[in-house]
Structure 1
Amino acid sequence: MRSPENADEIRRLFDRGIREHARPDGPGVRVERAGPVVRQVGGPDDWNGVVWSDPGLDARGADAAVAAQIAHCTSLGLPEFEWKLYAHDRPADLGERLRAAGFVPEEPEALLVAPAGPSAGAVGLPEGVSLRPVTDAAGAELMARAHERAFGTDGSRLLHQVVRRLEEAPEDFVAVLAVDADGEPVCSGRMELYPGTGFAGLWGGGTVAAWRGRGVYRALVAYRARIAVERGYRYLQVDATALSAPILRRLGFLELGTTTPYVYRPGR
């Protein structure tokens, strides 16, 4: 990969390598090019949605593409379908068109990227806290528990995805836990490695409220960054919430824009 000169160039590399030429994020799912969009398709417990749309998409083409994705979602009987919209996607009013068609926007996230090397330094952990790689179903259950405690949302879908990934396609996947002295999970995170792109994606990283601000999240970033560097990956990429974005900016992550999940739920 040649050296990017600025944020626009890194974003072009990201759009091409991670979005337009997306790879399935786990076993049992597939990536399809459907006219002007690229989408992932799987079962009801998998992530289903559009990851890329043609930058030349105009208003008429956008409406047709949105209608086609609704028909696709409905025909498969999926409980929900997401259009992952980035701020630089076209046409400029694509979000409004998605909303008019019945998609509901969730909270936007910052698209952040940083060189993996500088993020891989050692970070001290609070007394009694240790990091533990996740390699089996028992570890995945602790990840789901950490997710539920950190975000207040159901972790069953995450549990299903991590267990299946560890059992069937672990080669480009890394998962890690932070646990307290009693073995209770206080933070967890995952990393997707995208061969041939130079990018590794960091996911999760939610920290239980009582442990926030004590370096646990930063330690999980550094742990995954070290593995990324060892495996030859150049960049770390995060879709960051309002909680994690300030931490990542302090660690040197560059904001390339925002991404907003637009979710369609048939029958609602």
Structure 2
Amino acid sequence: MKREPTYQIHSVPPLKEQEDTMPATSDFVKRLYKMLEDHTFSHVVSWGPQGDCFVVKDMNEFTKSILPRMFKHSNFASFIRQLNKYDFHKVKTPNDAQFGERSWTFRHPDFHADRRDALENIKRKVPAARKSFPSSSNRDHNGDRGASSGNYIPGETSTTELAAVQSYIGVLQNSYQSLFSSHDTLLSSHETLRGQTDSLLASHSSLQAQNDNLFTTNETLRNQVVRAEEQIRVLEHQYGDMMVNFQKGMAQQDALMQGWIQYFLGEGGECRFVALFVSIMSRF
């Protein structure tokens, strides 16, 4: 079984030494290479496993943290356009699943982790010059001679123009991918907020139900207190009537006793008292 080669990142030389050994190339390519040599960024952007490409693992974090620091802007679509101008291409690799479906992998034939010397071969693409159409009189005058001599013929598309169109389509596709990823991020955030809103509404409904129960309980207790107060007033009234009747009864008993005392102490009272005493004793 053939063993696949593994790639190891060499130790990063000091910044001054990096600049001294960096070959003559554009500032954009230099910044790109230095960014990948900085291991503090490796959780967001790094070389691919073979060192022949680089991978943006987290587009959002890359746009927010690394682009402003290394390229003085925070526009991922602009970064892709710059890559395209230097003939970098977005590619699909077997390692895409390892980095996630939202990762971006870019490759250039002269951009390798262990080939600083090849950076000078990375040049900015020269835009194709527009060719003017010959006038109708010249076309009529030249006839087939123009075609045989290699002059521009309307309807034909040169290789350079075709490459320019394909490059522009690539830029549009990359921009679309960026917008699509942003849309997914916003959609995910919307779903999260929607879930939080539903949770808050459910909590509000639960609290409202508890509040309604407390209100009902409070009304029940209030009615019970009112009824208890009414019963207390009735009992107080009954107690007052009972005390009045008791006092009347006591007064009547006092009057009766006074009458008996006067009866026995009056004229002939002693005889009546003795007769009453004898009558009572005879019963025993």
Please, what TM-score do these two structures have when normalized by structure 2?
A: 0.20
Answer 1 or 2: which has greater helix percent. Answer: 2
Answer 1 or 2: which has greater strand percent. Answer: 1
Larger Rg: 2
